[in-house]
């Protein structure tokens, strides 16, 4: 199995999770919840997902000079992630997220970015050689947009493949979209970027076509358990997902992106890489928490084998 290097640039958070019967409405208090705490943050989640899927991963991030930050770095290293590009910030705390998870597996999340918001263009330039020597750069939107643009520009100039997961949902400037190899929004994020309502394959196709017209190389729209719609030069169509009993969908998109990066770096065709990523994401929603839910390679392979798909 090739050990190609994946660089993930993005956020690291500590998630504080309350499992409740249902997500509270505005002004409503629901008691009887169960509390837990877990490592999270989209960048960190994707780095861990890529590492556990079999990738060789370097993470570029900022954490606070505090207990949460120290614990995060120790946990990354334990997963085999190269942490020499994880900076400790003395002026901001580590990022945190407060998460409600309903019994149906749906979630509601509030994030205090802390040190994540202080990852700068200067930091990116400091790690230019790390990005230039990568086989894949993976990013999200929990760090400043100008930082994402700087990293995408470095990657594009060196021909490094990129995955941008435009989450949380926000408009992305056309100049950045034009630098992106693969864009992976979910239904809501696709609507923010295109104005197209995405509920099924038809809506996903329309949104994907709109994104490609905006300059994206490959548009890959995730639709939860339904799977993902892919529009690229080599493949166009729906890649079906896997039906599982959902417990918590918190990190499913992050797991998808990390696993996708690994499969592509292993040389798999795009459709096969999406199958692999769908399997990893399906496994993750059967467990509570962000990083605790992320499956390891042997679990993904066994899951695919049990479903009659190639691992």
**Which are the catalytic amino acids?**
254
Share of residues in the chain with pLDDT > 70 (%): 98
At residue 111, the pLDDT reads 84
Share of residues in the chain with pLDDT > 90 (%): 84
User: What confidence tens digit (pLDDT) does each residue in 161-186 have?
Assistant: 999 999 999 999 999 999 999 999 99
pLDDT of residue 236 exceeding 60: yes
At residue 247, the pLDDT reads 85
pLDDT of residue 97 exceeding 90: no
Cis bond upstream, residue 168 (ω within 30): yes
Fold of 5-10+42-91+117-306: 3.40.1190
Mean pLDDT of 105-114: 88
Q: What is the chain's mean pLDDT, rounded?
A: 94
pLDDT bucket at 252, cuts 50 / 70 / 90:
very high
CB 59 within 8 A of CB 43: yes
Domain parsing of the chain, residue ranges: 5-10+42-91+117-306
At residue 2, the pLDDT reads 42
pLDDT bucket at 310, cuts 50 / 70 / 90:
low
- Sequence-distant (≥ 6) Cβ neighbours of residue 14 within 8 angstroms: 37, 38, 39, 40, 68, 71, 72, 94, 95, 96, 97
């Amino acid at each position: 199995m090739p050990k190609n290097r994946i660089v993930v640039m993005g956020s690291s958070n500590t998630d504080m999770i309350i499992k409740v019967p249902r997500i509270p409405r505005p002004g409503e208090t629901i008691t009887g919840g169960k509390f837990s705490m877990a490592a999270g943050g989209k960048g960190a989640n994707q780095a861990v997902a890529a590492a556990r899927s079999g990738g060789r991963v370097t993470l570029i991030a900022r954490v606070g000079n505090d207990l949460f930050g120290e614990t995060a770095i120790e946990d990354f290293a334990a997963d085999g992630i190269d942490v020499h590009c994880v900076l400790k910030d003395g002026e901001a705390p580590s990022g945190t997220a407060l998460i409600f998870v309903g019994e149906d597996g749906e979630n509601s999340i509030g994030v205090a970015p802390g040190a994540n918001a202080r990852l700068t263009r200067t930091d990116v330039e400091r790690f230019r050689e790390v990005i230039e020597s990568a086989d894949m750069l993976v990013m999200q939107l929990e760090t400043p947009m100008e930082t994402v643009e700087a990293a995408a520009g470095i990657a594009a100039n060196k021909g490094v493949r990129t995955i941008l997961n435009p989450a949380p949902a926000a408009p992305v400037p056309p100049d950045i979209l034009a630098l992106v190899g693969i864009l992976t929004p979910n239904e809501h994020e696709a609507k923010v970027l295109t104005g197209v309502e995405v509920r099924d394959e038809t809506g996903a196709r329309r949104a994907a076509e709109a994104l490609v017209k905006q300059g994206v190389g490959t548009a890959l729209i995730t639709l939860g358990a339904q799977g993902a719609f892919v529009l690229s030069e080599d493949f166009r169509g729906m890649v079906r997902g896997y039906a599982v009993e959902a417990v918590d969908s918190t990190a499913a998109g992050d797991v998808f992106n990390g696993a996708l990066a690994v499969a592509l770096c292993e040389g798999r065709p795009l459709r096969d890489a999406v199958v692999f990523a769908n399997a990893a994401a399906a496994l993750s929603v059967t467990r509570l928490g962000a990083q605790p839910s992320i499956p390891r390679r042997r679990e993904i392979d066994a899951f695919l084998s049990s479903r009659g798909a190639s691992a």
